[in-house]
Amino acid sequence: MQEFDPMNRSFASIRNPRTIALVGKYHSMEIAESLRRLAEYLYERGVSVFIERETSEHIGKKVDLSRWVTCGFNDIGAHADLAIVLGGDGTMLNAARRLARYCVPLVGVNQGRLGFMTDIARDDLLTCMDDLLDGRFAQENRMLLAAEVTRDGKEIAENLALNDVVVDKGAIGRMIEFELFIDGEFIYNLRSDGLIVSTPTGSTAYSMSAGGPILHPTTAGIALVPLCPHALSNRPIIVNDSADIELRIANADDARVHFDGQVTLDLQRGDCVRLRRSEHAICFLHPPGYSYFAMLRQKLQWSERPKGT
């Protein structure tokens, strides 16, 4: 069998998807009925439906999903034209990291709370499917961060992050100290509770809560946001998305690095966390009429334009 090449994925398959994978929030029985109804609707429209394996194992306890193919993320990546994610932003983050290297476009259905990355409301789920199947959704690419952790000059871990990579002090109630380098140049020695390295997508997550800027998804930049810095002059900065970022742990008792807040690794003094823009990107598919700023107005409850202007 010929090896699958993600770069050969046809845009025609996105415009006229014939195989769609469904990925749900694993431990939420609330989405069970929505997922079953969606699978049946797609099947009736002549679409081959895959159910992600762990989703099926959990949701299948409440509704019957046996009529559809169950498979893992590797098979979804190799055979699905796109994936519909039912859950919140956390479910989308997990699916994005797992499917990034396959270039599988993602559609988000909000079954969580805010849902900055999940555009479709649960009540609008089926009414949006006609637009999706008829190719009227708009494509938008989002960058990811590629992270590498080294210890004594040897790589001990690597991962991807769609939102952010965070180095923090862990459970110990004291600051950590590390050195920041950008493109090999020493920037500063930071004593703080940690540092958030955020993509534009992640700028509305932990970074925003820590006082960082909101970056439009098309911005070619990476935000560096200190957490409770000892020196008030250590402010959030934005660097080019081509930058090579390195954090060297100088002094810490319980330091950790977190990838999208879902994968965690313990760090030791002398460890290095190196970050760069990943060679992979995630394609989000948005329904007709989608606007990033309209989404922000709704999610962040920004005031509406005064009447008569």
Q: How buried is residue 118: exposed, middle or buried, by Cβ count under 10 Å (0-12/13-18/19+)?
A: buried
Residue with structure tokens 């005064």?
306
Amino acid at position 182, single letter = I
Which helix (H) or strand (E) segment holds residue 238: the answer is: strand 237-240
What are the tokens at 225? 């946001």
CA 86, CA 92: separation in Å to the nearest integer? 8
Number of H-type helices and E-type strands within the chain = 8, 18
Sign for the pseudo-dihedral over CA of 150, 155, 156, 157: positive
Question: Which entry of 64, 81, 89, 253 is annotated as an active-site residue?
Answer: 89
Active site residue 89: yes
What are the tokens at 102? 């396959």
CA 108, CA 117: separation in Å to the nearest integer? 6
Q: Are strands 176-182 and 164-168 parallel, antiparallel or unpaired?
A: unpaired
Residues 6+ away with beta carbon under 8 Å from 90: 25, 112, 261, 262
- Enzyme catalytic residues: 89
